Amino acid sequence: MRNLILAVLLSVASAGCAERAEMGPTDTVGISTNFSAEETEQILAASDEWKLATNGAISLDMRIGLEAVQHSIVAARYLGGLSGKTLKPTDGRANVTIQLLGGLPSAVLKQVTMHELGHALGLDHAEEGIMRERFNDDQPCLTEEDARKMCDVIGCPNGWRGTCEE
Ligand SMILES: [Zn+2]
C-alpha cells in the first residue's frame, strides 16, 4: 500500500512538469511583479545563462511586469511538491506560462528557472544536466551537453558552449 501511494505521487510529480512548450528563442517574456527583487535577479540570471550557452541564439526579451508580453513567468504559492512548472499552450504557438514556487533559495530558483526555460524552449527531461527530472541543488550553470541539446532544437548559428567551467 505504501509503495502504491509513492508510485502515484511520483506520477503526479512527473505529469506536473510539462514536457515541451512553444517559446521562441527571442520572444518577449514578462516576469510578474510579485517576485522579490532578488528572485527577479535569479530569473534574469537563468535567462542570461541560456544566452551565454547558446552564444546569443537565445536572447529572450525579459521584462518586469506582464503587460504586452508573449509569455509569462509567475510566482506560485503551491505547486504540489514541484519547484517549477511549465504550462503548455493549448492551441499551437500561444502563451507559455512558467510557474515558479515563491520563496525558493536563490541558487535553487536560478536552476529551476533554467530547467523550466529549457522546457519552454523545447527540451524534454534528460538523465543528466539541467533537464534532470529530479532537482539537485548542484548545477548553477549549463553543461556543454545541455547547450548542444538546446541547439539541436532551436539552431545556434554561432555554436554553443557549457557555462560550468567559468
Ligand atoms: Zn521538468
Ligand 1 mean position, distance from CA 125 (Å): 6
Q: Tell me the CA–centroid distance for residue 22 and ligand 1, in Å.
A: 15
- Residue 35 per-residue DSSP state: S
**pLDDT of 112 above 90:** yes
What residue type is assigned to position 160 of the chain? W
Higher pLDDT, 102 or 41: 41
Q: What is the residue-wise DSSP string for 104-154?
A: --HHHHHHHHHHHHHHHTT---BSSGGGBSS--TT-SS--HHHHHHHHHHH
Q: Give the cell for residue 140.
A: 548553477
Q: How close is the Cα of 17 to the center of ligand 1, in Å?
A: 5
pLDDT tier at 166 (50, 70, 90 boundaries)?
Answer: low
Strands, E assignment, the chain: 28-31, 61-64, 71-76, 84-87, 97-101
Instruction: Identify residues whose C-beta is under 5 A from ligand 1, the ion.
Output: 17
CA of 46 relative to ligand 1 center, distance in Å: 15
Instruction: Give this prediction's pTM.
Output: 0.85
> Which domains does the chain possess?
5-154 (3.40.390.10)
